[in-house]
Structure 1
Amino acid sequence: MSKEMIRVTDLNIEFFDHERPETVVYDFDLTLHEGEIVGLVGESGSGKSMSALAIAGLLSRKDMKKRGEILFEGVNLLDCDRKTLRKFQGNEIGMIFQEPMTSLNPVKKIGWQVEEALRLHTELSKEERKKRAIEMLEKVELHNPQQVYEQYPHELSGGMRQRVMIAAAMICDPKLLIADEPTTALDVTIQEQIVALLKRINREKKTAILFISHDLSLVRQLCERVLVMRRGYVVESGPVDEIFYHPKEEYTKKLIAAIPRVIRKTEKDS
Structure 2
Amino acid sequence: MVPAALFGAPALLYAAAGLLLLGMRGVYLALPTQAKQPLRQDIGEALRYLWAHRILRSLTISAELLNLANAGYFGVFVLWAVGDGSMMGLEPGEYGLMTTAFAVGATFGGLLSGRAAGLFGEVRTLVGAWLISSLMLLVPVLVPSPWALYPTTVLWGLVGAAGNVLVISTRQRLIPAELLGRVNSAYRLVGMGGMPAGAALGGVVAELAGVGAVLVGAACVCPAAVGVVWRAVSDRISGPVTSAAAHSDISRSR
Q: Provide the TM-score with structure 2 as the length reference.
A: 0.24
* Structure with the larger RCO, 1 or 2 (CA within 8 Å, 6+ apart): 2
Higher helix content, 1 or 2? 2
Higher strand content, 1 or 2? 1
